[in-house]
Amino acid sequence: MVDCLIAFGSNQGDREGAYEAAVNSLNQSQDVQVVAVSELHVTEAVGGPGDQPSYLNGAIRLSTNLSGANLLQLLIQMEHDLGRVRLNRWGSRTIDLDLLLYGENQISTPKLTVPHPRMSFRRFVLEPAKEIAAEMIHPLSRLTIAQLIERIALGSRVVLCLAGRDLNEAYGEMEGEFKAKYGSAWTLERVDRCDQIKGNPMNAVLMAYFPLGNSRGDSSWLAAKSFKGPTLELPRNPALARQELFAAIEAIQ
């Protein structure tokens, strides 16, 4: 059996009822054993369309003999059965069930990335997760859930950004909007070589990086592995990169 961590979120309809229904559905699966369930936390919506209702967020810890892919399919089917309709990215939803951790495994397929690529800096994910899984290890950063939330709570408001010289224009656009949006409250520090990333330079709360290749063997991913803290892979499209980065900062604050 594999020790897994699931994130729950809902900001439409009977939010408490959706959480209870999700836990009950997991318990009814012969391949899943629910180990622990967190309390629900009220959080503001991050990213996506404006004027969304607040969310209820929780975490579910379970053991399963399903593969990561099959567990994902079970969660998607449960979302469908409980009334989720996928319309807008980061938009309102009746239920959201994300596979955060599948033991200490790293999975990268077109349909599934584990650990969840945004869990390491999302306060609304980490706070309920800490209640039931403080000691679980994020296999990329090698930090526990408790250590991750400590990093975003105590780290300086510095974001490190790995961007090669071929991304001067994209980075320049992002830097300008970053300064306009956050002023002196946050700092964006650029590095352009992977060998500059050792541990956690400048006690940065987050390292954002642009991919330099097409696989997890590329040097940007290796740099992310060497960073002691939360990381975020940015799309090479400048507008999407800004959206991802600003949503990450919202999730940290």
Please identify which residue in the block is written with the tokens 């949006």: 181
Same domain flag for 118 and 177: no
Which pLDDT belongs to residue 54?
87
Residue 217 binned pLDDT confidence (cut-offs 50, 70, 90): very low
Catalytic residue among 61, 98, 118, 123: 98
Mean pLDDT of 165-194: 87
Per the domain annotation, does 150 fall within a domain?
Answer: no
Q: What is the mean pLDDT of the chain?
A: 87
Which pLDDT belongs to residue 46?
79
Which pLDDT belongs to residue 253?
82
Residue 202 binned pLDDT confidence (cut-offs 50, 70, 90): low
Residue 213 binned pLDDT confidence (cut-offs 50, 70, 90): low
Which pLDDT belongs to residue 87?
52
Domain CATH number, residue 136: 3.30.70.560
At 25, list the tokens.
């559905």
State what percent of residues in the chain have pLDDT above 90: 53
CA distance 48 to 175: 21
Q: What is the largest CA-CA distance in the chain?
A: 53
Same domain flag for 39 and 107: yes
Q: Write the burial class of residue 203 (CB in 10 Å: 0-12 exposed, 13-18 middle, 19+ buried).
A: middle
Listed residues 94, 112, 141: the one ending a domain: 141
84 part of the active site = yes
Same domain flag for 160 and 239: yes
Same domain flag for 137 and 159: no
Which pLDDT belongs to residue 73?
95
Q: What is the pLDDT of residues 15-49, one digit of tens each?
A: 999 999 999 999 999 999 999 999 999 998 876 66
Which pLDDT belongs to residue 140?
86
Please identify which residue in the block is written with the tokens 């979120």: 9
Per the domain annotation, does 149 fall within a domain?
Answer: no
φ, ψ at 64 (rounded to 5°): -150, 155
Mean pLDDT of 48-60: 84
Mean pLDDT of 160-178: 85
Domain CATH number, residue 181: 3.40.50
Per the domain annotation, does 146 fall within a domain?
Answer: no
Listed residues 141, 175, 198: the one ending a domain: 141
> What residues make up the domain containing 95?
2-141
Q: Is pLDDT of 88 > 50? A: yes
Listed residues 111, 141, 171: the one ending a domain: 141
93 part of the active site = yes
Higher pLDDT, 201 or 161: 161
Same domain flag for 76 and 115: yes
Same domain flag for 74 and 166: no
Same domain flag for 124 and 237: no
Same domain flag for 132 and 165: no
Per the domain annotation, does 56 fall within a domain?
Answer: yes
Per the domain annotation, does 148 fall within a domain?
Answer: no
Q: What is the pLDDT of residues 116-135, one digit of tens each?
A: 999 999 999 999 999 999 99
Q: What are the C-alpha distances in Å from 176 to residues 104, 128, 213, 238, 242?
A: 38, 35, 26, 12, 10
Cβ distance 64 to 34 under 8 Å? no
Which pLDDT belongs to residue 172?
87
CA distance 102 to 146: 17
Catalytic residue among 93, 118, 122, 151: 93
Same domain flag for 36 and 95: yes
Reduced to 3 states (helix: H, G, I; strand: E, B; else coil), residue 227 is strand
Catalytic residue among 3, 15, 61, 84: 84
Same domain flag for 247 and 160: yes
Per the domain annotation, does 211 fall within a domain?
Answer: yes
Mean pLDDT of 196-208: 78
Q: Is pLDDT of 221 > 70? A: no
96 part of the active site = yes
Same domain flag for 126 and 164: no
Per the domain annotation, does 196 fall within a domain?
Answer: yes
Per the domain annotation, does 216 fall within a domain?
Answer: yes
Report the domain count for the chain: 2
Mean pLDDT of 82-109: 80
State what percent of residues in the chain have pLDDT above 70: 86
